[in-house]
Amino acid sequence: MKIGITCYPTYGGSGVVATELGKSLAEKGHEVHFISYAMPFRLSHNFVSNIYFHEVEMGNYPLFEFPLYGLALTSKMVEVAKFENLDLLHVHYAIPHATSAHLAKEILAPHKDLKIITTLHGTDITLVGLEPSFIHLVKFSIEKSDGVTAVSRFLKEKTITNYEINKEIEVIPNFIDTSVFKPQADSCLKQKLAPNGEKLLLHTSNFRPVKRVTDTIRMLKEIEDKIPVKLVLVGDGPDRSECERLARELNVMSKVVFLGKQEGLVEILNCADLFLIPSQSESFGLAALEAMACGVPVISSSVGGLPELVRHNETGYIAEIGDIDRMARYTLDLLTNGKKYKMFSDKARKRAHDKFRKDIIIPQYEAYYEKVLGGS
């Protein structure tokens, strides 16, 4: 198939999923055309044949006080779909991609029937999409897509109820390359992060309020006098300064390592003893899946799609949003019981491999593409 993929090219989970999907499809012989304002960051690492990148260029005509990205994207979609003869366009994150794609489809309609598939990822539905300025547009764009997928059952239900959507939505969960994200022997990084053999708690995110990163610091405060422990925070974003302030206020700054944005995630994950994801909202929790694939059990909140991923009392523990006491108790429980920890670690890896590895999920996307194309 000739497949167009549009996504955000930055560090967010939707861009990662879209890029890994495109790479896997190309490896399987499909021709994949990425259309975005920059090369998706995981694409820039190595050359993959069958993958093409089309950059959406933004002019700066003085009359346009605000950049017209959605429209520039539409124009590029039309151009690529027409000249590369795409069979379908798969857009990740509804805003504005699904709307741009619908407009491209309409423009092309006299010449070809370009199928549009929209994958809903999370905040496009649960947060920003619900804003009054977007809600009608999101509903319209979902309903106009030829196919719609959601990354969890939770997100499917939320979409149907929040937007009163009367349309079939296919749940295709996120996936992981378990030959890359896997347990590795002790690394020298662990020595650097925990020179005195401390246990390592890890959190990775974009530090937006919805991630509740400050909860990880409060958890650290509750356990730091009971076991030797450190908290490693990977990523950056609006709440980073507040996290630093809180760590100083709670007098735990010496036990928190802020690594900022990082690319070598597998090595960092392999240093970790536990992964913390106390989010306010999380449609799937790709970061938790990456940890599980490396054999790192997860302590999570009970929101969104997280319970579909994390098995309570098996691959980690789940607690109510903001229940820091309970999360801290679970953390201590696992970190002070070697036998139990090993069982959780093995089960986390096994669940990631058995249920979410890429060669199980990619064929689901291919089958869905065939189904949507078959409807022509």
Least gap, CB of 339 to ligand GMT (angstroms): 31
* Contact status: 207 vs ligand GMT (CB under 6 A): no
Contact region for ligand GMT (CB under 6 A) — 139-147, 276-284, 343-351, 352-360?
276-284
Least gap, CB of 262 to ligand GMT (angstroms): 15
> Which spans in the chain are helix H?
13-27, 69-83, 97-108, 123-126, 135-144, 153-163, 188-193, 214-223, 240-249, 265-269, 286-293, 306-309, 324-335, 338-356, 358-374
Applying the rule CB under 6 A, the residues between 137 and 166 that interact with ligand GMT are 151
At residue 51, what are phi and psi to the nearest 5 degrees? -110, 135
Least gap, CB of 32 to ligand GMT (angstroms): 19
Applying the rule CB under 6 A, the residues between 2 and 31 that interact with ligand GMT are 12-15, 17
Contact region for ligand GMT (CB under 6 A) — 76-84, 134-142, 225-233, 282-290?
282-290
Q: Please select the residue that binds ligand GMT; options are 285, 295, 297, 316, rule is CB under 6 A.
A: 285
CA–CA distance, 31 with 22 (Å, rounded to integer): 9
* Contact status: 210 vs ligand GMT (CB under 6 A): yes
Burial of 27 (0-12, 13-18, 19+ CB in 10 A): middle
For residue 49, CA distances in Å to 22, 35, 54, 87, 198 come to: 11, 16, 15, 19, 44
DSSP, collapsed to helix, strand or coil, labels residue 62 as coil
The residue assigned the tokens 């979902």 is 142
Residue with Cβ nearer ligand GMT (306 or 328): 306
* Contact status: 206 vs ligand GMT (CB under 6 A): yes
Applying the rule CB under 6 A, the residues between 115 and 134 that interact with ligand GMT are 121-123, 126
* Contact status: 300 vs ligand GMT (CB under 6 A): no
Structure tokens at 308: 């579909």
Q: Are 100 and 73 in contact (CB under 8 A)?
A: yes
Q: Binding marks (x or -) toward ligand GMT, 60..99, rule CB under 6 A?
A: ---------------------------------x------
CA–CA distance, 31 with 20 (Å, rounded to integer): 14
CA–CA distance, 329 with 317 (Å, rounded to integer): 10
CA–CA distance, 196 with 49 (Å, rounded to integer): 46
Residue with Cβ nearer ligand GMT (8 or 330): 8
Residue with Cβ nearer ligand GMT (270 or 300): 300
Least gap, CB of 8 to ligand GMT (angstroms): 6
Burial of 298 (0-12, 13-18, 19+ CB in 10 A): buried
Q: Please select the residue that binds ligand GMT; options are 36, 74, 145, 174, rule is CB under 6 A.
A: 174
* Contact status: 204 vs ligand GMT (CB under 6 A): no
Least gap, CB of 40 to ligand GMT (angstroms): 11
Residue with Cβ nearer ligand GMT (84 or 242): 242
CA–CA distance, 102 with 141 (Å, rounded to integer): 7
* Positions in the binding site for ligand GMT (CB under 6 A): 12-15, 17, 93, 121-123, 126, 151, 174, 206, 210, 281-286
